[in-house]
Amino acid sequence: MSAAWTVFRKELKDAIRDRRTWLIVLVSSMLAGPLSLLLLSTFISSVEESAARREVYLVGGSSAPTLVNFLERAGSNVKDAPADYREQIKSGRLQNAVIVVPADFESKLAAGESIRLDVVHDDTATKAQPAVRSAIAALRGFNRELGMQRLLARGVSPQLLTPLEIDEVNLASSQSRGAQLLFLVPWLALLGAVVGAISVAIDVTAGERERGSLEPLLMNPVTTGSLVLGKWSVVALCSAAVVVLTLIGFRAAMLLVRSERLAALMQFGIAESALFIAMLLPFSAMVAALNMLAATYGRSHKEAQTYASYITMVVNFAPIVPLFLSIRDAAWQLFVPAIAQQTVMMRGLRGEAVTAIDVLLPGAIALAVTAIALLAQARLLRNERIVFAR
Amino acid sequence: MIEARDLAKSFDARVDGKRARIVAVEQVSLDAADGRITALLGPNGAGKTTTLRIIGTLVRADRGSARVGGIDVLADPRSVRAQLGALSDARGLYTRLTGRENVAYYAELRQVPRAEFDARLAMLAELLDMESLLDRRTEGFSTGERMKVALARALIHDPQHLVLDEPTNGLDVVSTRALRRLLLHLRDAGKCIVISSHIMQEVEQLADEIVIVAQGRTVAHGSADSIRAQAGTASLEDAFVRLAYESGHESRAEGRK
């Protein structure tokens, strides 16, 4: 045990003096997380603004005072559309719909004839969609109001026209709508765990052999188990440090977030942070051990990098698989590392209940994989073929 | 006291991209007494490094046995390592650590008390003329400078047995002299020292006992004088060439029958 402690302190000093360690810690945790969150929030708040402004653009609004009056009563801010509105919508400068009113609007209205209105918009402009929807909804409101007045004037109950009364009840709580975008948060934290482990893991295994210090190290009267344990502690610590810094980055970004809606949607308070830490620390332990094991097989730094990158790839893609297959929370997910962590953290973000099993089972599996990987590595270091890279 | 009896070792290795069976050691024996410097002398590829790795417990012999201070290397490798100071073929340092930190790492792994470490490092630094190297990071050290740190690292626990694989490789004259001074000092202190080398002059100057190894076999052993007498030549170099190359082939051929 004292040998493992010695190895830990030496490897920690070595890693701290390595410029690469700091580059990875700073770039991955301090930039990647908050930056992506800020992008998301900018996106959300601009959607929010265009809906909040409730602007309705009309062409030929002066020929339809009844419609303008209705829209203004409903709280819309009616504006004349610019002359080149088609180009502006296409190029994305105008993030809204434009309602084209015919010149004979009022006369047709008075005659009780049907009036054709064009609503010009771009389906692919995601940010404009809330505004487009509210413009169309406003027109439907006008339809309904006028229709009802006409029926009543003729002594017919408007209920005859609406046998179905449709009320949308959206079960996605406001938190859960936010979590659709925020799948990025646990995913980036998982990636942070791998990225934090990878370079140190290679340095203490393949790097040790490549610089010719493995052979003399193994001639010390200590077990390979304590060497592996000491080295792994440093790799796991680096991985956990990147995770914690990434989470701190998210918290900091939350404070900078402009959108109140995002702040309300995304639950990332103390409880969620604690859940994330509880899910991610065993995960860090596991990826540290696996990266070291993979890198031990590498005959050189470069070969080790190739093997370790397989692990990165798996961790990259595994959490996305259930998303693509639109599987939601099946029991098996708790048994598969990376997917389990992603699933449970997403539940936390969505504000759903997280049970003790949800935390303990993936954690126990990660720690079991860690133990197996460390034992395997201690054995490998007693294998001449590995030590001398034959 | 280091003894090796009839060691044999072969392994698979990559040769020109293909895996091939390599017979590294076929039959090597040696006896190295305390207070003596024993040199394994042989051409490149004779099996010197593998023999020293077997003694250093890094490699398991297929046949034969080796004992260090009376302890069998297979039975109790950790006790063997505890009383062994080894300079291996690979002698890499940690380039982000200073010379002192490199040595201190091994001292801690071997649980050398702090005060003893300081005194011992001061002594080694003086003998090896390396005081100026201690507080510099080892990145960019010359071969000689690296060897001095590696040697100090191997000797910091004051081992009774020393196994040094080609210790003078890449050293300049000044460093070689410093090393020789140190080894003679340690020998006179009663240590058991085994070095390997393919350089005749060095062995002749330094070794009390010479073991000539060729193609995986011990072909002669004894003092320089007795080897010269055995080969019937006037110089050790002639004796070496005759024993290592000529009788080496004969004995190898016999071994294959």
ipTM for the predicted complex comes to 0.92
Cα distance from B13 to chain A (closest Cα, Å)?
Answer: 5
Q: Is residue A48 part of a domain?
A: no
Q: Determine whether the interchain pair A384/B11 forms a contact, defined as Cβ–Cβ distance below 8 Å.
A: yes
Q: Checking phi first, is residue A66 left (phi over 0); if not, alpha (psi -120 to 50) or beta?
A: alpha
Residue A222 counted as domain residue: yes
Q: Are A259 and A124 contained in the same domain? A: no
Q: Quick check: B109 contacting A, CB < 8 Å?
A: yes
CATH no. for residue A128?
3.40.1710.10
Tell me which chain B residues have a C-beta less than 8 angstroms from the C-beta of A219: 56-58, 81, 84, 86, 88
Q: CB contact, 8 Å: A173 with chain B? A: no
* CB interface of B with A, residues 7-26, below 8 Å: 11-14
The model's pTM: 0.80
Q: Strand pairing partners for A237?
A: none
pLDDT score of B145 more than 80: yes
Q: Which has more pLDDT, B161 or B201? A: B161
Q: Let me know whether A362 and A244 are in one domain.
A: yes
Core vs surface per residue A172-182: b (16+ CB within 10 A) or e: eeebbebbebb
Q: Is B90 in Cβ contact with A390 (below 8 Å)?
A: no
Q: How far is CA B254 from CA B26, B28, B29, B43, B227, in A?
A: 12, 15, 17, 20, 22
Q: Is residue A154 in a domain?
A: yes
Does the beta-carbon distance from B89 to A7 stay under 8 Å? Answer: no
Partner A contacted by B88 (CB < 8 A)? yes
Question: A131 and A203 share a domain?
Answer: no
Nearest chain A residue to B153 by CA distance is A216
Tally of domains within chain A: 2
Q: Is residue A346 part of a domain?
A: yes
Terminal Cα distance for chain B, rounded: 34
Residue B248 has pLDDT above 50, yes or no: no
Chain B residue numbers with beta carbons less than 8 Å from the beta carbon of A212 are 90-92
On chain A, the residues whose CB falls within 8 A of the CB of B108 are: 6, 10
Q: B2-83+159-256 adopts what CATH topology?
A: Rossmann fold (3.40.50)
Is A300 in the B-facing interface, judged by CB distances under 8 Å? no
Assess whether A290 and A186 both reside in one domain: yes
Last-in-domain residue among A107, A136, A169 = A169
Q: Are residues A305 and A347 in the same domain?
A: yes
From B79's Cα to the closest Cα of chain A, the distance in A is 7
The pLDDT tens digits along chain A (390 residues) read 689 999 999 999 999 999 888 887 777 766 666 676 677 666 666 666 655 667 888 888 888 888 888 888 877 888 888 888 888 888 888 888 899 988 888 888 888 888 888 889 888 877 777 788 888 888 888 888 888 888 888 888 877 777 776 666 655 544 455 555 667 778 888 988 998 899 999 999 999 999 999 999 999 999 999 999 999 999 999 999 999 988 888 777 777 665 565 566 566 778 888 999 999 999 999 999 999 999 998 888 899 999 999 988 988 888 887 777 766 667 888 899 999 999 899 888 877 888 999 999 999 999 999 999 999 999 999 999 888 877
b/e map of A282-294 (b: 16 or more CB within 10 Å)? bbbbbbbbbbbbb
> Which among A169, A194, A212 is the end of a domain?
A169
Interface probe with B: pick from A205, A220, A234, A381, most Cβ of B within 10 Å: A220
Same domain assignment for residues A272 and A308 = yes
Interchain CB contact of B72 with A (< 8 Å) = no
The domain boundary, picked from A169, A204, A228, lies at A169
A381 and A237 in a common domain? yes
A49 in any annotated domain: no
The answer to whether A219 contacts chain B (CB < 8 Å) is yes
Q: Where are the beta strands (DSSP E) in chain B?
A: 2-15, 18-32, 36-41, 63-68, 71-72, 84-87, 161-165, 192-197, 209-214, 217-222
Q: Are residues A66 and A187 in the same domain?
A: no
The answer to whether A196 touches A28, Cβ cutoff 8 Å, is: yes
A138 plus A119 within the same structural domain: yes
pLDDT of B233 strictly over 90: no
Question: Which of the residue ranges A162-176, B73-87, B171-185, B223-237 would you say has the lowest mean pLDDT?
Answer: A162-176
Q: How many CB pairs under 8 A join A and B?
A: 79
Residues A32 and A118 placed together within one structural domain of the fold: no
Of A153-157, B23-27, B224-228, least confident by mean pLDDT is A153-157
Range(s) of the domain holding residue A358: 2-43+177-387
Do A204 and A266 have their domain in common?
A: yes
Asked if residues A112 and A118 have their Cβ atoms less than 8 Å apart, the reply is no
Task: Give residue A56's identity as a one-letter amino acid code.
Answer: V
More confident residue, A26 or B180: B180
pLDDT band, very low/low/confident/very high, at B254 (cuts 50, 70, 90): very low
Give Cα A44 distance to the centre of its chain. 13
Q: Are residues A66 and A39 in the same domain?
A: no
* Beta-carbon count within 10 A of A111 CB: 9
Contact B31/A at CB under 8 A: no
Is A211's CB within 8 Å of B93's CB? yes
State whether A215 and B108 contact (CB < 8 Å). Answer: no
Residue A58 has what DSSP assignment?
Answer: E
Beta-strand ranges (E) seen in B88-216 are: 161-165, 192-197, 209-214
